[in-house]
Every structure is written in C-alpha cells, then in structure tokens.
Structure 1
Amino acid sequence: MSPAAYPDAGTATAVPVIETHGLGKVYSPGTEAEVVALKGVDVSIARGDFVAIMGPSGSGKSTLMNLIGCLDTPTHGSYLCDGIDVATLDPEELAVLRRDKIGFVFQGFNLLPRMSALENVAMPLGYAQVPVAERAERARQALAAVGLAERAGHRPSELSGGQQQRVAIARALINRPAILLADEPTGALDSKTGEEILALFKRLRDDNHTVVLITHDAEVAAHADRILVMRDGELHEEPGMGNRE
C-alpha cells in the first residue's frame, strides 16, 4: 500500500486513529519461559484525543506501546493505525507508516548532540526525501509551535531539559503524524518543567493532534482526558478520571 492510499485527516475523521481488537502478545509461547504480556486488548482512540495509558512495571503498558508504535507485532488480534490494518503491510510499507503516522517522544529526548535544534527537528524530513529548503522552513515552524523559535541554532547541550524535550516534540510532529506517542516524557524533568510539557500536550490536543501518553505516574496521567490502566496484561478504562481544560 502506497502512502497515497492512507486515509486523509480531512476525509476520514470518523475513522479511529488507534483501533485494536483482541490484541495480545505472548513471549516464548509453548516454553517454560512463556510470558503472556497482553491479553485481548480492545481499544479505540479518536483523532484529537489525549489519552494516558498507565500502569506499573510489568503491567503490559510498554508492550502495548510497542504494538501501537508498530515496533513489535502481536501474537493475535488486530491493530488498525489511522484505518490501516498493519498486518497487511510488508516491512517497507510498515516503515513508511511508522514514519508518517507516528511521532515518538521519549524520556531521554534522544537528540543528536552535534546537531542544532533546527537540524534535529528537520532530520526525519531527510528520510522522507523532502527538499532541503522545505525541511528548514518546516523545522522552523515546528520549533515556533513549541515556543522555541529563538533557540533554533542552539545545540542540545545549550538547552535546558524542558527545552530539549520541546525540540523532541517538534521533531516528532515534523511529519504531521496522526499519533504522538510519548513514553514517560516528563520522567527526566523537574515537576515545574513537566507541567509545562503536559500543558503543551493539551495545546497539541486542542489543535486536533492525538496524544497517547505512557506513564506510571497517576498525577501525570490525570492531565489526560481519558485514562486507560494496564493490569496484568489487561486494559481497563478508569471511569470519571481525566479532564479537559
């Protein structure tokens, strides 16, 4: 399936951005080391949702994150990413979908130290074969969107932790993905800076981005509109939790 065949955000608003049916993952099946990490997960997340997936270590949240991010394949069940059944894609098509549909934000920022903020943000556009002049302009726009236009020429070592995470978010958004997948994005930040990053996620949600936040911290999860809790490989929605400001 070519990228041109992907549903367009303007024409497929009714299609969930994330939809799973009976999604499961078993490691080392049929052996003494067998681990059932995920058990029949059904979830639907719409465009513009801000969702937290919360759970302690070993609950299955990282496994679910890897499946949503197309970094791993399920043992059973199905996953539709922005309307595309990922099981129908060959490795090259899957790589294109992951590049175009999913933006990743990690706890450790993962910025290249010898590159400026602008160069770090523009880097994914090189893989997408976007012309050089357009890369720079789009990267400047992305940095402006996260409040760092004046820091474009700074290297990561010249930026605070919060600024580095903003650069990482701008990089994740540069291909205009359907999903922003953030794995413990405030874990390396002080509480005040963490609050600023969570406020940025809310603004992105208001701009119709879909934000999926992976966290073990209930206080962080409380910033989301929906909270999904992983327990022993099963997903539960917490009624009455989450908020929209």
Structure 2
Amino acid sequence: MTAVIRTEGLGKVYSAGTPAEVVALRDVDMAIGRGELVSIMGPSGSGKSTLMNLIGCLDTPSSGVYLCDGVDVATLDAEQRARLRLDRIGFVFQGFNLLSRMSALENVAMPMGYAGVPRPERLERAREALSEVGLAERAGHLPGELSGGQQQRVAIARALVNRPSILLADEPTGALDSRTGEEILGLFKRLQDTGQTVVLITHDPGVAEHCDRVLEMHDGRLHEHAGVVA
C-alpha cells in the first residue's frame, strides 16, 4: 500500500505564554493509503481538529514526522507548504465556504487562479469537476440559488479541481439533512472508486459507518477502531 498520509510520533503542544502547556496530540502514528476512505472520529477536544490541521498543512507539529504524498513537510518553508496544500490537498468544510456573489462555476474555478492556470483551462476544468459531482446544469447559479446539498457538491468540486492527492472533509454532512447527507457520503464513495483518497473528520458514527477504516481520537491519542467498516 502506498501511503499518501504517514505520520510517525506526531505531537502538538500549544502554549499560551504560561507554564501551563496544552498537549493536543501525543505520538500519533498513522498511515492512510492511496484510494482509501477513512474517518477520523472523536468528541470535541479529542484532538481530531488539530490532527486535521496538521494533515492539511494548515499548522506544523511540535514533534514527529508527517509525510504528505511522500514529502516530509518539516523540510518545507511556509511558501512551499502553501504550494503543497494547494496542489495536493482539497478541503471540504461543513459550512461550504462558497462566495455568494460568484456562480458555482466561478467558485470551483477560483483555486486554479491561485495556481496560475490560464482562465480558459480554469473554466473547462471547473465544468468537468461540476459534471463529476452531478451539477453541470447548475454551473451558472449563485450559491443562494442552490440547496444545501448542491452547495456542498460545489464545494467538493472546488476541492477536486486541482486534482489533489488527498480530499480532506471536515464534518461534511453536519449542515445537511439526513437524506442529503447520505447522498454526499455516496458521492465520496464514488470518488474513492476512482482512486481518490478521502479522509472524513467527524463526530458522527453514522458517517464513519460508510468508511473502510475508522480511526478514533481520545485525549490526543489515535486508536484504530476494533472493526473495519465496509
């Protein structure tokens, strides 16, 4: 198995400028292979958000090693980490984070602007991404003209448009009703079937049931779930 995400002894300590440090992560060893659909579960304060930020190169560890698609993140400066994040990691958030005055097509095309992709190619690839999530006919609609599930599909298309190695979704069904949430989870499964690596950060066991593996966070430590979920 080729590990797209690998951590060894990963730790994170926060200091508020006082002797009372907060240990958010403790010696996390983890490997997630290409094409896996994995959930990282845990209650509030368990460390799962900290782990997500480290996996997503939004923060740096206090100790240990993180290899993102084979790259040792500790060897990169801030600009290089930002480039790695742009090229290899797609983010999907609970609140969609779409720009209200831009069409679905423009929202999806936006990350490619930061990557320096010419506008004609941006629009072509954005249309392809919207088609991939079943929203080709809604390309010209503003977010306010779309349902919650459609907005989340636009957000997923935006995350996919730079063809990332890792799709990282933070509570992706939290703002959706149960039926729409099931549709979005089905979409993640179809993306996995194409070889996409998908990591879902969640507190919901119902979401985790859709994944191949469940990793659980407790008090900053990671534990493999006793059962593998298909």
Class of the TM-score when normalised by the shorter of the 2 chains? over 0.9
Distance in 2 separating the partners of 1:15 and 1:188: 33
Q: Secondary structure at the match of 1:129?
A: coil
Distance in 2 separating the partners of 1:171 and 1:184: 17
Asked if the contact 1:15/1:83 (under 8 Å) is kept, the reply is no
Q: Secondary structure at the match of 1:17?
A: strand
| Identity among equivalent pairs (%) | 75
**1:209: which partner in 2?**
196
From 199, 202, 208, the counterpart of 1:221: 208
Q: Secondary structure at the match of 2:28?
A: strand
Q: Secondary structure at the match of 2:3?
A: coil
From 162, 175, 188, the counterpart of 2:175: 188
**2:98: which partner in 1?**
111
**1:99: which partner in 2?**
86
RMSD: 1.1
Distance in 1 separating the partners of 2:16 and 2:192: 39
Provide the TM-score with structure 2 as the length reference.
0.98
**1:143: which partner in 2?**
130
Structure 2, unaligned runs of 5 or more = none
1:54-99 per-residue CA deviation (whole Å, 9 max, x = no partner) reads: 0000000000000000011101001000000000011111111000
* 2:34 counterpart letter in structure 1: R
Distance in 1 separating the partners of 2:100 and 2:228: 39
**1:179: which partner in 2?**
166
Distance in 2 separating the partners of 1:131 and 1:188: 34
Distance in 1 separating the partners of 2:190 and 2:29: 27
* 2:6 counterpart letter in structure 1: E
2:31 corresponds to 1:48: no
**1:3: which partner in 2?**
none
Provide the TM-score with structure 1 as the length reference.
0.92
The Cα shift of 1:30 comes to 8.4
Q: Secondary structure at the match of 2:46?
A: coil
**1:9: which partner in 2?**
none
The Cα shift of 1:188 comes to 0.2
2:51 corresponds to 1:64: yes
Taking a change above 3 Å as real, the CA distance of residues 29 and 77 of structure 1, as seen in their structure-2 partners, is farther
Moved over 2 A (4+): 29-33
